[in-house]
């Protein structure tokens, strides 16, 4: 690492889940410290869309949190200083759509990513096919 270059770390789903659920409390405290370090500029936390997808799914299915609350909580978390979201625009649009619509986060992300590239979506899923601009078959 060169002088003045800040270190980057890829964020794992476990830190997101611990922070948002406070379960268990001792790991939630460790997670909070990691996020504080990023906010203080000690490092940058990179977030891959797969981590967002896994977090969304786990908070919905295991923790039974309503999708609108999951969407809001993840957006607020990803908006924190020191957080760098890959494919940020598609991730935020997918969180918004998954929080209010009938699509899963993954389907909404796929749809928005395809649109950004000017591509279509190959799917047999009727909801996704209705949402996509171009579909195959």
Domains and CATH numbers, the chain: 1-86 (3.40.50.1010)
Assign 2 a pLDDT band (cuts: 50, 70, 90). low
Q: Taking the complete model, does pTM exceed 0.95, yes or no?
A: no
pLDDT (0 to 100) of residue 1: 56
Q: What is the DSSP letter of 121?
A: E
Whether 3 has a pLDDT exceeding 70, the answer reads: no
Beta strands 83-85; 121-122: pairing state:
unpaired
pLDDT (0 to 100) of residue 27: 98
- Distance between CA atoms of residues 87 and 84, nearest Å: 10
- Rg of the chain, C-alpha, whole Å: 16
Q: Is 48 exposed, middle or buried (0-12, 13-18, 19+ CB in 10 A)?
A: middle
CA angle 124, 53, 68 (to 5 degrees): 95
Question: Among 8-12, 15-19, 87-91, 98-102, which is the least confidently predicted range?
Answer: 98-102
């Amino acid at each position: 690492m060169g002088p003045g270059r800040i270190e980057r770390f890829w964020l794992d789903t476990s830190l997101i889940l611990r922070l948002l659920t406070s379960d268990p409390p001792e790991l939630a405290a460790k997670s909070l410290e990691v996020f504080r370090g990023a906010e203080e500029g000690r490092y940058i936390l990179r977030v891959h869309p797969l981590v967002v997808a896994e977090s969304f799914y786990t908070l919905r299915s295991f923790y039974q949190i309503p999708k609108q609350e999951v969407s809001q909580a993840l957006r607020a978390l990803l908006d924190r200083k020191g957080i760098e979201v890959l494919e940020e625009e598609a991730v935020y649009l997918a969180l918004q759509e998954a929080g209010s619509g009938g699509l899963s986060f993954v389907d909404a992300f796929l749809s928005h990513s395809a649109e950004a590239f000017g591509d279509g979506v190959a799917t047999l899923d009727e909801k996704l096919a209705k949402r996509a601009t171009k579909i195959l078959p």
